[in-house]
Amino acid sequence: MPTWTLHTEFKFDAAHYIDGYDGKCGRMHGHSYKVKMTAKSNKLNPSQYLDTPDMVCDFKELKWAAKDSEKGGFDHGVLNDLISQNTTAERIAEFIHKVTKGRIPEGIDLTVTVWETDTSWVEYTDQDV
């Protein structure tokens, strides 16, 4: 069976605090987040911008979180104002995954990796590993 695996990376800068955290992460601070999206599919699909089935999904739909926070993304926003859960790296990755799944065709296996620093990151998927 043919398989296509699409990869893209982007960055955004945002502030946050971890509510209830006993330590400096409980205070407002910022990060330059890096995100990697991996979308895997056994078929090609059309998109909002292309009528023919020639892509796994549109890169534009994968990179929504890189947009300015006033335009629906996270860049230069306060994540606590944008995400209803606590803003740990784990919850940020889970949230990006959930929103992205609603923007892309069904049947795509999506993995979201979020780096909070150069040496600390989390990977999230809803697939059994």
Catalytic residue numbers, as ranges = 25, 76, 116
Sign of torsion, CA 110 19 76 71? positive
Q: Residue 5: how many CB atoms within 10 A of its CB?
A: 11
Neighbouring residues of 6: CB distance < 8 A, sequence distance ≥ 6: 37, 38, 39, 40, 41, 55, 56, 57, 59, 62
- What DSSP state is assigned to residue 62? H
